[in-house]
């Protein structure tokens, strides 16, 4: 029954879309918009968690690589085309590299597309909807992908993972004149909004200094060998009172965090989506310690948030 419901949902959200584009033309338009940051410098702003302002800067470097710089307050993250993410901690002169999880599978064969013309913040835009259609084959692909994800994802019920963690509908507002994605929304299986990101103060082709996109030579590089090690390193960097997290780990042996933060493993392939995994705790954590992490990351126990990440952490 629920799969009949999703088909009905697809029909409802598709009403009102124009028929002037073929599906192939819609796909080409969307692909071009998603690759915008590989060919253009730009700056933009967006609202991040906790009413913080997210500052985005994208630079095409002399070697042709595009690097994305995200700033939330004093927190800086650099994202690279190959999927690497570096979080910079100026107070510790340290850069933390992400532990790379599995790549989100290509689900294009299971998607349908539709398009309309609207104005968004007085900007002429195309609204493109990218919709997954359920099939047994799709369910098999998603189940295989789940087995390669984080520990939290692997331990989820397969049905819950498929319905809650996969983006069944994505809605893009693409500028008609510049091909920039000004807004993106992600919806789960039941049509609930998983996350959205909208840009303002967009400046295309600004003058940006390459130095902003290079890790300072005096920084120490931390490269984790696992998710667990990345979590420990991240928390040690965020909490200035813990200088050696590993030596204190016995005090927190029951603490399990899967960390993909709004300031960390976040990414925007043109106009990514705020997207993240869940923080879970299985035992009590010292109140002052957890409160500090919570204040920095704006995350509560047991809640799921979304962070801008399509090109690197994909949909999960």
Give the pLDDT confidence of 2-31 residue by residue, as tens digits.
Answer: 444 444 444 434 434 454 899 999 999 999
Task: Work out how many domains the chain is built from and give that number.
Answer: 1
- 255 domain-assigned: no
Q: Give 238-277 pLDDT, tens digit per residue.
A: 765 444 434 444 333 333 333 333 333 333 333 333 333 3
Structural domain range at position 21: 2-35+103-204
| pLDDT confidence of residue 236 | 85
Residues 6+ apart with CB under 8 A from 129: 13, 14, 17, 113, 114, 115, 169, 170, 171, 172
116 domain-assigned: yes
Separation between Cα atoms, residue 27 and residue 266, nearest integer Å? 25
Handedness of CA 15, 20, 23, 26 (dihedral sign): negative
Q: For residue 136, name the pLDDT band (cuts at 50, 70, 90).
A: very high
Claim: this prediction has a pTM higher than 0.85: no
Q: Would the pLDDT of 215 be above 60?
A: yes
Burial class (CB in 10 A: 0-12, 13-18, 19+), 254: exposed
Q: 102 pLDDT band (50/70/90 cuts)?
A: confident
Q: b/e string for 269-291 if b means 16 or more Cβ within 10 A?
A: bbbbbbbbbbbbeeeebeeebbe
Average pLDDT score, the chain: 75
Confidence tier at 75 by pLDDT (50, 70, 90): confident
pLDDT at 223: 93
Separation of alpha carbons 258 and 101, rounded Å: 12
Q: Is the pLDDT of residue 290 over 70?
A: no
**How much is the average pLDDT of 82-88?**
89
Does residue 180 lie within any of the structural domains? yes
What is the predicted pLDDT for the residue at 99?
Answer: 84
* 265 inside domain: no
The answer to whether 261 and 307 are in contact (CB under 8 A) is yes
Q: What is the pLDDT of residue 152?
A: 85
Question: Mean pLDDT over residues 156-167, rounded?
Answer: 93
Average pLDDT over residues 206-226: 94
Residue 79 forms part of a structural domain: no
Tell whether 98 is covered by a domain.
no
Average pLDDT over residues 205-234: 92
Q: Which residue has the higher pLDDT, 184 or 7?
A: 184
Of the two residues 71 and 3, the one the predictor is more confident about is: 71
Nearest to residue 197, comparing CAs of 210, 186, 213? 186
Which pLDDT value is given to residue 6? 44
Looking at residue 49, its pLDDT comes to 60
Q: Is residue 241 included in any domain, yes or no?
A: no
Q: Is residue 306 in a domain?
A: no
Strands 123-132, 169-175: pairing kind? antiparallel
Q: How far apart are CA 293 and CA 164, in angstroms?
A: 25
Q: Are 142 and 162 in contact (CB under 8 A)?
A: yes
């Amino acid at each position: 029954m629920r799969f009949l419901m999703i088909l009905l949902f697809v029909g409802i959200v598709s009403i009102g879309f124009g028929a002037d584009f073929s599906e192939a033309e819609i796909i080409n338009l969307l692909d071009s918009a998603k690759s915008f940051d590989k060919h253009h410098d730009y700056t933009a702003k967006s609202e991040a968690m906790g009413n913080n302002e997210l500052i985005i800067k994208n630079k095409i470097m002399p070697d042709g690589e595009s690097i994305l710089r995200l700033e939330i307050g004093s927190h800086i993250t650099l994202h690279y085309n190959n999927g690497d993410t570096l979080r910079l901690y100026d107070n510790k002169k340290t850069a933390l590299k992400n532990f790379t999880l599995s790549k989100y599978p290509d689900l294009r064969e299971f998607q349908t597309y539709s398009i309309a013309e609207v104005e968004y913040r007085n900007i002429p835009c195309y609204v493109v909807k990218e919709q997954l259609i359920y099939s047994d084959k799709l369910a098999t692909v998603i189940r295989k992908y789940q087995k390669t994800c984080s520990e939290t994802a692997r331990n989820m019920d397969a049905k819950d993972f498929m319905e809650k963690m996969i983006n069944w509908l994505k809605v893009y507002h693409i500028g008609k004149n510049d091909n920039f994605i000004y807004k993106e929304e992600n919806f789960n299986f039941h049509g609930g909004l998983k996350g959205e990101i909208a840009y303002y103060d967009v400046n295309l082709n600004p003058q940006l200094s390459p130095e902003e996109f290079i890790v300072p030579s005096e920084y120490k590089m931390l490269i984790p060998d696992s998710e667990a090690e990345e979590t420990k390193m991240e928390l040690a960097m965020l909490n200035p009172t813990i200088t050696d997290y590993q030596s204190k780990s016995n005090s927190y042996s029951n603490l399990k965090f899967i960390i993909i933060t709004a300031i960390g493993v976040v990414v925007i392939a043109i106009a990514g989506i705020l997207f993240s995994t869940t923080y879970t705790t299985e035992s009590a954590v010292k109140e002052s310690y957890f409160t500090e992490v919570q204040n920095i990351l704006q995350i509560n126990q047991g809640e799921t948030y979304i962070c801008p990440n399509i090109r690197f952490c994909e949909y999960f």
